[in-house]
Amino acid sequence: MQNIYDLVVIGGGISSSAFISNILKQGFKGTIAVIEAGRGLGGRCSTRYPNEDRKLALNHGCPIINVENSLKNSLLDNFIKELLDKNFIRSLDNSFFNLDENYKFSNVNDNYFYSGDVYTSTSNMSKLVENLFNLYNAENKIDFYFQTLIIKLNFKSELWNITSNKNKEFTGRFLVCSSNLLLHKRSIDILNVKEVPLREAIAKKNDIKIDEVIDKTNKQEYIKRINFLIFTKKNYNLEGIFNKEIVHFIFHKNLQKYIGFERIIIQKQFDKSLGIVIHTRNIDFLQNKYDMEDERILYQYVLNKLNSFLIKNKITFKNLLLSDISRMNWRASQPIGEGIPERLQLCKEYNIGFCGDWIQLEGYGSAAGAVLSGLNLSNKFIEYY
């Protein structure tokens, strides 16, 4: 007989790490499985380790957490205080620079991701998520399954049966979906299935709450982003006020139209090389200019633009030489449109819960919103369980 988990969580991102850490803190004693399609933890808050020997690390998705109205939300605020106390995160002071539409550095900060208090991990973002999962996991209650993509859900006799694309099966009493993929019509293409998995598990008109979650989720759309990941050769110094461990350059949205870059984030590496992530949101700009399949030309364009930006602004004095460049296509980097109301996060009739940055809470569409959704669900879950 297959092992029955008390709780199965699909997704190993920051929302599920906050959810699990908080239920364990509040004394949840059941068994837990975390199932993740990727190779490690982090989801969109993850880190690329290109070469284990050189110990290089680059936060290639979300690099920071920002909390806009800390006083308004004690749940999130207390959690952030705990992470600061545990030295998992630190404030990101004076390390970000805005470029206004005239290409000048300015202090005006109207960027959604940088308003309020801004924090980053003391190690890297994947490690932060890993630390959160393990914060109260002293008894090793969590079984992690990586490279396991769930494509099918079934609810029968009060149990969830969960099947991966390689036919691995899991059974759980309670299911948490930390991504909305299994509820959203895009799953049909991505997972190569005939019907949206949650819809297949719970047919229409069985439960008003589930119908509303699926209906509202399918009205959400996503911002696509392409990020370029660059590692330089060794021995580069950043100049003057830019000489910091991590530096963020944030381009005004009007400027993004010309340069194609949304942000440049430079992360110094232990061996005096630089790790650089260029975030691009204006995909049309790149697509119109370049054959996206011809990576050589695309990468050369990115490198030239980067070098001319850094040198023109006296951030470095010499052209950067690459040791490696790659790209990451984020087809669903951030939800847009109305989020899912938090009253729909837990459905007792079907023993299922939802968390993630797609829930309409403070910080919707950001790491802080994802964390808050996990904490919010954990309180509802503990009360119910």
Ligand X SMILES: Cc1cc2nc3c(=O)[nH]c(=O)nc-3n(C[C@H](O)[C@H](O)[C@H](O)COP(=O)(O)OP(=O)(O)OC[C@H]3O[C@@H](n4cnc5c(N)ncnc54)[C@H](O)[C@@H]3O)c2cc1C
Q: Report d(CA 76, CA 369) in Å as an integer.
A: 9
Give the DSSP letter string of 297-345.
Answer: HHHHHHHHHHHHHHHHTTS-SSPPPEEEEEEEEEEEEEEES--EEGGGS
**95/316 with CB nearer ligand X:** 95
**230/236 with CB nearer ligand X:** 230
Q: Minimum Å distance from CB 1 to ligand X?
A: 24
Q: φ, ψ for residue 56 (rounded to 5)?
A: -80, 150
Q: Minimum Å distance from CB 53 to ligand X?
A: 26
**236/365 with CB nearer ligand X:** 365
Q: Minimum Å distance from CB 307 to ligand X?
A: 22
Q: Minimum Å distance from CB 47 to ligand X?
A: 12
Q: Minimum Å distance from CB 37 to ligand X?
A: 4
Question: 69-98 in b/e burial notation, b at 16+ Cβ within 10 A?
Answer: ebeebebbeebbeebeeeebbeebeebbbb
**122/311 with CB nearer ligand X:** 122
**187/316 with CB nearer ligand X:** 187
- Helix or strand run (H / E) with residue 363: none
Q: Report d(CA 179, CA 331) in Å as an integer.
A: 14
Q: Minimum Å distance from CB 258 to ligand X?
A: 21
Q: Minimum Å distance from CB 142 to ligand X?
A: 15
Q: Report d(CA 187, CA 203) in Å as an integer.
A: 17
Q: What angle separates helix 14-25 from helix 367-384, to the nearest 10 degrees?
A: 40
**260/365 with CB nearer ligand X:** 365
DSSP 3-state assignment of 275? strand
Contact 12, 46 (CB under 8 A): no
Q: Which residues bind ligand X (CB under 6 A)?
A: 10-16, 35-38, 43-45, 61-66, 113, 149-150, 178-179, 181-182, 225, 227, 279, 330, 333-334, 356-357, 365-368, 370
**151/298 with CB nearer ligand X:** 151
Identify which of 260, 238, 254 has the alpha carbon closest to the alpha carbon of residue 310: 238
CA-based Rg of the chain, rounded to a whole angstrom?
A: 21
**37/315 with CB nearer ligand X:** 37
Q: Minimum Å distance from CB 27 to ligand X?
A: 23
Identify which of 4, 5, 10, 6 has the alpha carbon closest to the alpha carbon of residue 355: 10
For strand 96-99 and strand 273-280, is the pairing parallel, antiparallel, or unpaired? unpaired
